[in-house]
Structure 1
Amino acid sequence: MSRDKNFIALLLTLGLHAGVLLLASGYPLHHVSPAKVPQTAEKIVFLELIPPPRQPLPEPPSAPPTRPITVPPPNPALAAPAPAPAPSPDRPLASMAAPPPPTAEEWAFAANYTNKNSKGYRYSWGQQVRSMMGTAVEGPDQGVVRFRIEIAPDGSLTQLQTLWTTSAKAEQLARQAIQNMPPLPPTPTGKPLIFDKTISFSPFANDGPPIYRDDCLPEPPVFRNPFAWDGKSPQVVTAPTPTAPLEPQALADCLRQLPKDSVEAETARDQRLMDQWGSSKTGR
């Protein structure tokens, strides 16, 4: 171990002495740079984008040959309803006999009932006309006719106007019955009675007795469009005007005239509701 240390110390001593001799002898000491690698010149390359040559546009495809438009046959379910076929000889034609004319008691009640524009008188008048028209038979002669009638205070007819009709035969029979009507009692109010009346000449409809129990209630307000405007006057939204109830004395007089509704009147009312609104409204 000591021998190695001595050897290293000897080498260091020799190295120091050699460096001193070199410096004393003036031997030039300088750093020699490595040789430079020759640099290559940079090349600049310019690229020019040349658009490809235009290709001719493809020709539009030729239109397919036109085919005639075929209209499908009409759907029988959507077509206009065909006229009712004539009844077979095996089935008899439907018919309804003329109702009986009003009795003397019914005319006596009608001549004194003033409520609702003489409601009882108007019904008895129409019942009298229908009873004189005869039996209604199913076919082209059935239909309805609506008149505007004016009756003088003494019960005589002063005006008869046809508003519309669906059967010339029904109108003819109704006018013939009106001309041959027996003398009628005076009007209940002693004033001319003006009203519209529909006469049904059909085996499937019957003008049953009216209901009188609600005749003393106020009339419901008549609907009018609150936004109707003539384009000139100021716009005003009008509200429906409720009908005022009857005075106590007038209400008492009205209630005194009310008859007891009959079973026939209730049945006729239910039938009218069934025809107008369907079974869901009457609970049947």
Structure 2
Amino acid sequence: MKPSFALRLMAALLVLGLHAAALRLADAVLHGLGAAKPARAERMVIHLTLPPLAREAEPPPPKRRPPPRPPQPQAQPERSPLQNPVAVAPHAPASRAAPPPPTAEEWAFAARYTLRNSKGYRHSWGQQLRSLMGTAIEGPDQGAVRFRIEIAPDGTLTRVDTLWTTSAAVERRAREALGRMPPLPPTPTGKPLIFERTIHFSPDAHDDPPTYDHDCLPQPKAFRNPFVWDGKSPQRRPEPEPEEPPDPQALQDCLKQLPQNTIEAEAARDRRAMERWGWTSGSGDAQR
């Protein structure tokens, strides 16, 4: 490791000082031999001045801080449309006025139409009840109720049973309307009329008039699953019962009694067919 510059300088100065002291001592000795009294040896003081050491590294002056900027408003993050509340303007609830009650001509037709379990009478009875229930307004009081009705031959309502309901308020309103029903005409067959009827009390319900095109055709037989087996009896597939063709003369006489369908009934039948089968279907089956 090499000595530092300060140590080498000190060594050099020390050597020079020693040489100077030796020269002075030699000069004093030479001069002292010729003098009467020996001169007093002078004390020689050698002042060694060390070189200034390297100054310690001064810390850099502190940087001037820029003046504080005024606070700027922070940009709000963009919110998705789902996060932004959208004010929805209040709208009036949907409603449907009650249908008009059946006219005297409609009741006269219903009182003599015997086909399909007195189809005209059943429709007029439901229209009369719905007209007494008032306007249906969208909300918690809308719904439907299905009754099983029994009417005596003289037109007196003898029994009403609730099969199901979707709203107690609708059932209560319907039963209140039953208490205000006007006197009804006698049944077409002169026998008790028993049927089921669903009353829709809703702004989306349609009070469709029936069609009578197929009322003279025989009723389709109830479906029976040919694969039902009790697990005990021998498995035999029942033969389908043959359908007897209707009497041509009786069919012609029945067709002469059928009323002409109204435009509303035809439009309602087409709407029901399109709702069930789509827009590519033709006219649907008649209401039975």
| Range into which the TM-score falls when normalised by the shorter chain | 0.5 to 0.7
Q: Which residue of structure 2 aligns with residue 107 of structure 1?
A: 107
Shift of 1:256: 2.9
Flag structure 2 segments of 5+ consecutive residues without an equivalent. Answer: 1-87, 284-288
Shift of 1:89: 5.3
What is the distance in 1 between the residues matched to 2:97 and 2:218? 37
What is the distance in 2 between the residues matched to 1:115 and 1:251? 12
Q: Which residue of structure 2 aligns with residue 263 of structure 1?
A: 263
Q: Which residue of structure 2 aligns with residue 278 of structure 1?
A: 278
Q: Which residue of structure 1 aligns with residue 204 of structure 2?
A: 204
Deviates more, 1:218-227 or 1:137-146: 218-227
Q: Which residue of structure 2 aligns with residue 141 of structure 1?
A: 141
Change (3 A) 1:223 1:108: same
Shift of 1:272: 1.8
What is the distance in 2 between the residues matched to 1:179 and 1:168? 17
The answer to whether the Cα contact below 8 Å between 2:95 and 2:136 also exists between their aligned partners in 1 is yes
Residue 157 (structure 2) pairs with residue 167 (structure 1):
no
The answer to whether the Cα contact below 8 Å between 1:212 and 1:261 also exists between their aligned partners in 2 is yes
Q: Which residue of structure 2 aligns with residue 188 of structure 1?
A: 188
Q: Which residue of structure 1 aligns with residue 231 of structure 2?
A: 231
The answer to whether the Cα contact below 8 Å between 2:148 and 2:162 also exists between their aligned partners in 1 is yes
Change (3 A) 1:267 1:189: same
The answer to whether the Cα contact below 8 Å between 2:209 and 2:264 also exists between their aligned partners in 1 is yes
Aligned residues between the structures: 197
What is the distance in 2 between the residues matched to 1:243 and 1:174? 41
Shift of 1:132: 0.5
What is the distance in 1 between the residues matched to 2:197 and 2:187? 16
- Residue 172 of structure 2 aligns to a residue whose secondary structure is helix
Residue 127 (structure 2) pairs with residue 127 (structure 1):
yes
Q: Which residue of structure 2 aligns with residue 53 of structure 1?
A: none
Q: Which residue of structure 2 aligns with residue 71 of structure 1?
A: none
Shift of 1:184: 0.4
What is the distance in 2 between the residues matched to 1:145 and 1:170? 7
Change (3 A) 1:152 1:276: same
Flag structure 1 segments of 5+ consecutive residues without an equivalent. Answer: 1-87
What is the distance in 2 between the residues matched to 1:242 and 1:159? 38
1:210-229 correspondence to structure 2 within 5 Å: 210-229=210-229
TM-score normalized with structure 1 length: 0.65
- Residue 111 of structure 1 aligns to a residue whose secondary structure is helix
The answer to whether the Cα contact below 8 Å between 1:153 and 1:192 also exists between their aligned partners in 2 is yes
The superposition leaves residues 132-153 of structure 1 with CA deviations (integer Å, 9 ceiling, x where unpaired) of 0000011121111111111111
TM-score normalized with structure 2 length: 0.64
Shift of 1:255: 1.7
Shift of 1:229: 1.3
Q: Which amino acid aligns with 1:207?
A: D
- Residue 147 of structure 2 aligns to a residue whose secondary structure is strand
Residue 120 (structure 2) pairs with residue 116 (structure 1):
no
Shift of 1:262: 0.5
Q: Which residue of structure 2 aligns with residue 12 of structure 1?
A: none
**Larger-Rg structure:** 2
